[in-house]
Amino acid sequence: MKNYKAIGKIGEGTFSEVMKMQSLRDGNYYACKQMKQRFESIEQVNNLREIQALRRLNPHPNILMLHEVVFDRKSGSLALICELMDMNIYELIRGRRYPLSEKKIMHYMYQLCKSLDHIHRNGIFHRDVKPENILIKVVKNGLFNKCHQHN
């Protein structure tokens, strides 16, 4: 992790903590998913369903991009360096005064269906599709979503 500088915590789940990181190599920002579990070997890391799935599914415009897997054998720590997204769908709709437009909803649903089609065509079943796992990025001409693969 010496190639990254921590910027701040994005979120935390049962199995991991997600931090916003800046690469010291290229200056770009990434999401770092630090796993709470400790691992014995690189073989154990490579056998994780999440890593296998992300490697199999990338690249796809609606699937989160895995940039790097950082495993420290000495400590057993594992971090997944992924594309940084702006928010999830739950955060987007929570506390809104007005509902999203039908056009935006159709756009999101189309992208979600494209990502699920790609996942299923590759023999993977997501098992946890919910607003918190549908990540979006704000782009000039609207929003763009990606389906985050958990396991």
Distance of CA 118 to the CA centre of its chain: 16
pLDDT in tens, 79-136: 999 999 999 999 999 989 999 999 999 999 999 999 999 999 999 999 999 999 999 9
pLDDT in tens, 96-111: 999 999 999 999 999 9
pLDDT in tens, 138-149: 776 655 666 655
Residue intervals of the chain classified under CATH 3.30.200.20 are: 4-83
Given this structure, which CATH class describes domain 4-83?
alpha beta
31/21 Cα distance (integer angstroms): 6
3-state secondary structure of 51: helix
Q: What is the pLDDT of residue 95?
A: 83
3-state secondary structure of 82: strand
- Would you say 33 is a known binding-site residue? yes
Is residue 60 within 8 Å of residue 115, measured between CB atoms?
A: yes
118/54 Cα distance (integer angstroms): 12
Catalytic residues: 128
